[in-house]
Amino acid sequence: MKKKFIKRNFQKLLLEKEQNRVVATDEIKTVGIISTEEISNWIDVKQAVEDHFKVHNTKIYSYRPYSRKQETSFKHFTEKDFNWKGQVSQPNFKVFIEQPFDLLIGFFNKKNLYVENAVLRSNAKFKAGISKVNQDLYDIEIAGYPKNTNQFLEELKKYLIILKKVKN
């Protein structure tokens, strides 16, 4: 039932944000990453992003399904971190979502209401992600798979250079 309400609010917010979208022209200095625990366990996305874009202090949050057995983590979020309206209720994750990153990378390639909702609600100025998930979430999409992290980041960097968001 909760998922149904979140999905309905997600669709409303998606339409609203799409109509009011403004693409920032700022150079990228701060980067946030939203991913899944599955991907984060076998790829160090944070380190790869820092190496490619020569930025420091990149922040990452990964989605993992809720389990009572797992301890609360400051690197993960679950479906329990969203209220019935789809708003973030967990304070640390809320701070992450509200941070105005110059670039937010949605590093996941499977549809997931909670991960997509996190990307949508982010206050990032520019959003990039893997294509074929939800094109309405991003300012730019790059075709690829999480396994090809370097290829994805190289392609993203090419476009960001063209847009003058990063220096060569």
pLDDT digits (tens, 9 = 90+) for 15-62: 777 767 666 677 899 999 999 999 988 899 999 999 999 998 899 999
Mean of all residue pLDDT scores within the chain: 90
Task: Tell me the per-residue pLDDT of 113-130, one tens digit each, with 9 for 90 and over.
Answer: 999 999 999 999 999 999
Instruction: For residue 78, give the CATH number of its domain.
Output: 3.40.50
- In-domain check, residue 168: no
- In-domain check, residue 116: yes
* pLDDT, position 2: 78
- In-domain check, residue 62: yes
Gap between the Cα atoms of 8 and 74, Å rounded? 28
* pLDDT, position 19: 67
Q: Which residues contact 74 (CB under 8 A, 6 or more apart)?
A: 92
23 touches 3 (CB < 8 A): no
CB atoms within 10 A of CB 56: 9
**What number is the average pLDDT over the span 130-141?**
91
Q: List the strands of the sheet with 103-107, edge to edge.
A: 76-77, 59-63, 31-36, 103-107, 127-130, 140-142
* pLDDT, position 23: 67
The answer to whether residue 98 scores a pLDDT higher than 90 is: yes
- In-domain check, residue 167: no
* pLDDT, position 26: 79
CB atoms within 10 A of CB 159: 15
Give how far Cα 43 sits from Cα of 3, 38, 62, 89, 121, Å: 29, 9, 12, 28, 25
Task: Tell me the per-residue pLDDT of 74-85, one tens digit each, with 9 for 90 and over.
Answer: 899 999 999 988
* pLDDT, position 166: 86
- In-domain check, residue 155: yes
The domain containing residue 31 runs over which residues? Answer: 2-162
The answer to whether residue 143 scores a pLDDT higher than 80 is: yes
How many independent structural domains does the chain possess?
1
* pLDDT, position 5: 84
- In-domain check, residue 112: yes
- In-domain check, residue 127: yes
**What number is the average pLDDT over the span 10-14?**
82
